[in-house]
Amino acid sequence: MDSELLPLSKHMPPAHPFDDDKLREECGIFGVLGVADAANFVALGLHALQHRGQEAGGIVSHDPEQGFNSARRFGYVRDNFTNESLMKTLPGPLAIGHVRYSTAGSKGQTAIRDVQPFFGEFSLGGAALAHNGNITNADALRRELIERGSIFQSSSDSECIIHLMARSFQKSIPDRMEDALRRVEGAFSVVAMTRTKLIGVRDPLGVRPLVLGKLGEGWVLSSETCALDIIGAEFVREIEPGEMVVITQDRGVASHFPFRRRPSRFCIFEHVYFSRPDSILGGRSVYETRQAIGRELAKENPVEADLVCPVPDSGTPAAIGFAAESGIPYAMGIIRNQYMGRTFIEPTEQIRNMGVRLKLNVNRALIRDKRVILVDDSVVRGTTSRKIKEMILDAGAREVHFRIASPPTAWPCFYGVDTPQREKLLAATMSEDEMREHLAVDSLKFISLDGLYRAVGEAKGRDPQSPQYCDACFSGDYPVEPSDMIEQGFQLKAAE
Ligand code: SF4
């Protein structure tokens, strides 16, 4: 079999069964200009962004003598980009990289040609590009480009940007990129490079994050600030929604706003789950925001109980906030095993919930005879929540109360997050009461959308006329119409 077309499972480190019931961020991007062996810094940055995509990673570098070089690999960054001989093939003071979960068009099966950064050789010189987000009119653009003679190398929506750049008549690569991105709808944070420039762009709504850092005399662009910390770079600022920065070694950062300015709609789920808790978003640590979500959740949905336990690890800061607000003791009632993969054969059918038990174990001595509040970040399909509840009851808990640090996830995301089809989302087909019955727990409560907005710093909650964030997976209010999906039959929420 062509190694490029191996099924995903053959290339990949095994996914954690526990994580199958989570939404998954699809990409992390990172770029460095102006330091020796920039690719080594990019590898470290991508390692810190691994939570945003574990399927594959790639790096492109440029060296004045050796030109552009690239490496793309399946699997974790630490298993590939720590290889000395591989890293020696990526010399130079300028490099960008990408980690990926899966891009539009190739879910379930991946090919090395879908792994970014993408590279294009133009008459003006080469350029490489890494994209986080999802282009919602990619099918229409691809059809148009193919009709006009473009030959696509991958199934990725992001490749449209390279072809649009190739067709632009502008005289510089940043100008061509600007041209191309004006045709693109949806969510995009882009890190790109030419022979001498590092370029960063965010879509006009700023759905996905991108930050600027300083590393000695050099510059860094990253999806999140946690990846600046790992290389000792200083956080300078967030790239603003609709902003394009073109960075050169001698002139530093040149910024402008090429798109029509619109109120921003940053992804509110980044605060809840996607971003690492040690990152800074909107001037506040994600960890603190998640604690605030837990406090708000406790105010909205109090219940008498003996213990507040997080569903680790993503529920932990919210559980700490919930415990602080409610005065109910916090306890690590569930312990997560960090060192597992889906590599074991289930010995007997009697071992129920093997997948979850490989990952999580109940701290029985703590749980026995207790009324337990379990705090989790979200409920997607509900399969894991059910299994965790059974484990807690098997350990002798008297009552189980679920408190969820996000509103019910009832709509799919089309902006760069892998979501099950709408009918697979528990909240799309059941009311809150029906979900409680389905999970067979004593109570189930979600934070309200207004409560979530308050927790992320909007004192008056969500402005229904002009929402301050993208919250489409909770509200069905899509800030950019997902035109490809509508063409495929997706039904938007009926106007109220
Ligand atoms: S739909 Fe949900 S996950 Fe997707 S960008 Fe909007 S808030 Fe984020």
Query: Is the minimum distance from the CB of 269 to ligand 1 under 6 angstroms?
Result: yes
| Torsion angle in degrees (nearest 10) through CA of 119, 123, 125, 129 | -30
CB atoms within 10 A of CB 354: 18
Structure tokens at 32: 């460095």
- CATH code for the part of the protein at 3-265: 3.60.20.10
pLDDT at position 40: 98
Query: Is the minimum distance from the CB of 471 to ligand 1 under 6 angstroms?
Result: yes
- Identify whether the C-beta of residue 297 lies closer than 8 Å to the C-beta of residue 451: yes
pLDDT at position 393: 95
Q: What is the pTM of this model?
A: 0.92
Question: Catalytic residue positions?
Answer: 27
CA of 453 to the centre of ligand 1 (A): 14
Region for residue 144 given its phi and psi (left: phi exceeds 0; alpha: psi -120 to 50; beta: otherwise): alpha
Query: Is the minimum distance from the CB of 328 to ligand 1 under 6 angstroms?
Result: no
User: Domain spans of the chain?
Assistant: 3-265, 290-456
Q: Which of 211, 274, 202, 229 is nearest to 52 (CA)?
A: 274
pLDDT at position 162: 96
CA of 400 to the centre of ligand 1 (A): 29
- Identify whether the C-beta of residue 456 lies closer than 8 Å to the C-beta of residue 469: yes
CA–CA distance from 237 to each of 219, 227, 240 (Å)? 12, 14, 9
For residue 250, the SS3 value is coil
Q: How far apart are CA 169 and CA 175, in angstroms?
A: 9
Query: Is the minimum distance from the CB of 480 to ligand 1 under 6 angstroms?
Result: no
Nearest atom, ligand 1, residue 187 CA:
5
Q: Containing H/E element for 118?
A: strand 118-122
- Identify whether the C-beta of residue 138 lies closer than 8 Å to the C-beta of residue 145: no
Q: Which residue has the tokens 């706003």?
A: 257
Q: Which of 301, 279, 300 is nearest to 290 (CA)?
A: 279
Structure tokens at 93: 């003071």
pLDDT at position 495: 76
Q: Which of 276, 310, 274, 283 is nearest to 294 (CA)?
A: 310
- CATH code for the part of the protein at 290-456: 3.40.50.2020
Query: Is the minimum distance from the CB of 205 to ligand 1 under 6 angstroms?
Result: no
| CA angle, 337 then 341 then 347, to 5° | 95
Query: Is the minimum distance from the CB of 239 to ligand 1 under 6 angstroms?
Result: no
Report the DSSP pairing between strands 94-100 and 27-33: antiparallel
CA of 269 to the centre of ligand 1 (A): 6
CA–CA distance from 211 to each of 30, 61, 183, 280, 472 (Å)? 9, 20, 24, 10, 23
CA of 467 to the centre of ligand 1 (A): 13
Query: Is the minimum distance from the CB of 417 to ligand 1 under 6 angstroms?
Result: yes
pLDDT tens for each residue of the chain, 496 residues long? 233 333 333 333 334 334 557 777 679 999 999 999 999 999 999 999 999 999 999 999 999 999 999 999 999 999 999 999 999 999 999 999 999 986 444 445 568 999 999 999 999 999 999 999 999 999 999 999 999 999 999 999 999 999 999 999 999 999 999 999 999 999 999 999 999 999 999 999 999 999 999 999 999 999 999 999 999 999 999 999 999 999 999 999 999 999 999 999 999 999 999 999 999 998 999 999 999 999 999 999 999 999 999 999 889 999 999 999 999 999 999 998 877 554 455 455 555 456 677 788 899 999 999 999 999 999 998 888 999 999 999 999 999 999 999 999 999 999 999 888 898 899 999 999 999 999 999 999 999 999 999 999 999 999 999 999 999 999 999 999 999 999 999 999 987 6
Mutate to test the pocket of ligand 1, among 264, 266, 267, 281 (most ligand atoms within 8 A of CB): 267
Nearest atom, ligand 1, residue 411 CA:
1
pLDDT at position 5: 32
Nearest atom, ligand 1, residue 208 CA:
5
- Identify whether the C-beta of residue 182 lies closer than 8 Å to the C-beta of residue 128: no
